[in-house]
Chains A and B, each alone.
Chain A
Amino acid sequence: MNAKPPLLQMKGIQKSFGHVRVLKDIDLEVNWGEIVALIGDNGAGKSTLIKIITGVYKPTDGEIYFKGQRITPRDVRASRALGIEAVYQERALAEQQELWRNVFAGHERTTFLGFLDLAAQRRETERLMRTRMGLTSQAITVDSEVVNLSGGEKQGVAIARALYFDADLIILDEPTMGLSITETDRVLKFTRSIREQGKSAIFIDHNIFHVYDVADRFVIIDRGSIAKRLLKAEVTREKLIETMVELHESGAAS
């Protein structure tokens, strides 16, 4: 057994908005170097759960441990400081700004009195582009405005940036939405690179094929509770789809 505690541990998480109970007694663990997929219908409570982890919402009840420490995420900034980073498709980058300005937004490298160390920022961005983002197209330079990047490339920048600044848990909320097949492949590759670097991710996607492709473990959420936990090793893709369909039908029947 690994003596290291799990990266993220949530115990008995409850969340109500007024009289509506959105999450009922959720237990969730994410280990180091693991990609966990959250699966469920719209309104099942996935995004509420995510927002509790990132500090947007406070849980009504329950405990959260991160790297073995009890935490009470207050806001997004506090969660980021701990090493929890969410990558949202549309909100991640500033489109009209140069790539280097985006990579270092909020973490600027400065020389003295807050003046930018432009050389270092551009050099590091260049290195990140080559090694982590897979941006090989000659059309894109560190001075390119992000608006010139494709959807998949933008996701790559956001993920590479999170890893560069030492996020240990990266939350990907529907990162492939609206992307073409090749772009989606790119994003899935970036997602796998998170695990290769020993970091972890929570991956949300409606497409079960993508989910099965990248995740190590599947957590199915249904009407605010965890309905099933499955290891990739113990389930085939067909079996996973079958489970989803069964759940959906039982939900529709009740």
Chain B
Amino acid sequence: MTAETTKRLPLRPAPQRSFFHVYRIQFSITALLLLLYVVFIIGDPKTYLSFNIYRSFMISIPFFGLMAMAATFIVTLGEIDLSFPSAAGMSGWVFASSYIYSGSFLLALVLCLATGALIGLINGLLVTKIGIPSIVATIGTMFLWGGLVNVVTEGHGIPMTQLLDDPLHALFVGQLFDRIPAQFIWFVAGSILMGVLYKRHRFGSHILFIGDNAESARMMGIHVDRVKILCFVIMGVSAALSVVFILNQLTFFWATTGSGYLLTTLAAVFIGGTSVFGGKGTMIGSFVGVLIIASLEPGIIAIGLTGFYTQFIYGLLITISVAVYALMLRRRD
């Protein structure tokens, strides 16, 4: 080798940072989704090649999809929120009872979203100002708000069939062109908004920085507490908006409304590839994660397994994907 060729070599080998490499998590998860659908279509072509199943997905996905997008902010901060199902329940009760009492959809909607925001605010204050680790704080508020719903309803539901006649009903769960459920459009629009906030806005930059190195963020003048509180508020409002879809779709408030979405929502975020260590994540991943989680249960039944497999397969997917992502994101020494 001549001196000249040696000189031209870079000091360190330049790592190939191809488009595929940069978005490797997003590609992996999309590949997983496609693979699942290949299995489902082969397993039950009649169901999976008709539009009906996709319409039913579009009806039910927004029930937890928006919460998964909002939870991506929280997980990126290195925090967790376990109370959002109870936030959905509590704000759902506020929606139902204020709607029945006043007959005003708009008033019920505003009070419902305000309840979600207040619950998020309390979570945020507990975590930042009181200094309780979020996992503990939100276990507390999960029981607090879930318990309060039990107290005020005494376990009884609230029928709300008059919602069907309300002009605002269609705005949330109507069908566009008789095909596309309105809540799915809300979900897609909300996801795009949160995705843009995440990677293309100052707010998202601060979330990523705090999740990566909170001490450094504080020294760079980022209002760490304020950002965290805002993320919990967004989580609460998303839970409240989700419950508006649920109540309008079912026209009945159950004392258990909202519960049951904890696992699916967080599973979507973790399968989606947002780092459990904080500081790194992807909204596209969470979005695809939501689609995967929503497809699993009917898919498992469609390919001939019983519903008893659902939780097992959720567990399997979460464990494997979190382990794979941890390896992919492992810090290079």
Contacts and interface: CB of A to CB of B under 8 A. Distances in A.
Given A86-B219, A115-B200, 13 more contacts: A93-B213, A94-B209, A97-B209, A97-B279, A104-B205, A105-B220, A114-B203, A115-B196, A116-B201, A137-B12, A138-B10, A138-B14, A143-B22
A139 interface: yes
A141 interface: yes
Nearest to A115: B201
A190 to B, nearest CB: 18
Interface in A15-58: none
Interface of B: 10-15, 17, 22, 196, 200-203, 205-206, 208-209, 212-213, 215-222, 275, 279-280, 329, 331-332
Contacts of A147: 331-332
A101 B208 CA distance: 9
Interface string A91-123: 111111100010011111010001110100000
Contact of B15 (A86, A94, A139): A139
Contacts of A105: 205-206, 209, 216-217, 220, 222
A91 B203 contact: no
Nearest to A86: B219
B158 to A, nearest CB: 39
B205 A116 contact: yes
A106 B219 CA distance: 9
Nearest to B219: A76
Given A114-B202, A141-B17, A95 B331 contact: yes
Interface of A: 76-77, 80-81, 86, 88, 91-97, 101, 104-108, 110, 114-116, 118, 136-139, 141, 143-144, 147-148
A107 B329 CA distance: 27
> Secondary structure of the A side of the interface?
loop
B109 to A, nearest CB: 25
Nearest to A81: B221
A76 B213 CA distance: 16
A86 to B, nearest CB: 7
For the complex of A and B, the 10 pairs showing the least CB-CB separation, nearest first, are A106-B220, A94-B212, A106-B221, A94-B213, A105-B220, A138-B10, A114-B202, A108-B202, A139-B12, A139-B14
Contacts of A116: 200-202, 205
A110 B200 CA distance: 10
Contacts of A80: 219, 221
B218 A76 contact: yes
A205 B208 CA distance: 32
Contact of B216 (A91, A115, A139, A144): A91
A97 B11 contact: no
A172 to B, nearest CB: 14
A114 B196 CA distance: 11
9 contacts: A94-B217, A95-B213, A96-B279, A96-B280, A96-B329, A101-B208, A116-B200, A139-B14, A141-B17
Contacts of B279: 94-97
A105 B222 CA distance: 8
A144 B208 CA distance: 15
